[in-house]
Amino acid sequence: MKITYLGHACFTIEAGGVKLLVDPFLKHNPNYCDALWEQAARPDYILVTHGHGDHVGDTIEIAARSGATLISNFEICNWLHAAGVERFIDLNPGGTATLADGGVTVTMTPAIHSSSMASEGGDNIYGGLACGFVIRCGAEAVYYAGDTCLFGDMRLVDELYKPTVGLLPIGGKYTMDAEAAAYACNNFFNFRTVIPMHYDTFPPISADPARFSALVKKGAVRMLALGEALEI
């Protein structure tokens, strides 16, 4: 498995011959550069955790160019299908999609967060349940928590799927902060590697990843620079 950080909460995960792009917020990221777009291009699947703009991001454009299949909740799949995304797999928490090419599965997990899309008139359109994902391939399993607070049922994610790598938000305000994310690592999971995300993109979610690293007592924290990849 190869995990590449594309800024904010966007990653590509390449496993079993398929390329997954998660929460592709690229062009409106203040740290955007063309190299990130190149890495995001031509995914086989696009995973979207919830309806907020910093997660749906460039899904419509990338899906149109690549023909990628969207994996998201029922409501977001319907909304993006109406907006032109042709192929989708709609899940709800607990559901698993088995991907065509090589023994990769994507399971939708709960997250505690809101989910809505902004209409042109400024109203919020219902965006279903915010979620996370567990991506499994062989002996490896990646838990991508999504935007969420700390919650006790994260224990079940560990018990059921035994994730070896965790991608956790640490920016606070809208999600877990560094203390809460470290609590999850130390008490709920047995990650070999933890990658912090969803911090420092905007001033309200500034966080110190070195402090997060110091707080984590189980597993190694790996801070990925923009465009940097980790092979597991």
**Interface positions with Mn ion (CB under 5 A):** 54, 147
Query: Which of Mn ion, Ni ion, none does 8 bind, CB closer than 5 to 8 A by kind?
Result: none
Query: Which of Ni ion, Mn ion, none does 200 bind, CB closer than 5 to 8 A by kind?
Result: none
Neighbours of 230 (CB within 10 A): 15
Q: Which stretch binds Ni ion (CB under 5 A): 11-19, 48-56, 152-160, 196-204?
A: 48-56
Looking at residue 111, the DSSP 8-state letter turns out to be: -
Q: How far is the CB of 161 from Mn ion (least distance, A)?
A: 23
Residue 23 or 158 with smaller CB distance to Ni ion: 23
Candidate list 147, 158, 177, 200; residue touching Ni ion; CB under 5 A: 147
Residue 52 is a binding residue for Ni ion (CB under 5 A): yes
Q: How far is the CB of 208 from Mn ion (least distance, A)?
A: 19
Looking at residue 92, the DSSP 8-state letter turns out to be: -
Angle at 102 between CA 24 and CA 74, to 5 degrees: 45
Q: Answer yes or no: are the C-beta atoms of 161 and 177 closer than 8 Å.
A: no
**Is 77 in a helix, a strand, or coil?**
helix
Residue 73 or 164 with smaller CB distance to Ni ion: 73
Distance between CA atoms of 177 and 77, rounded to whole angstroms?
Answer: 29
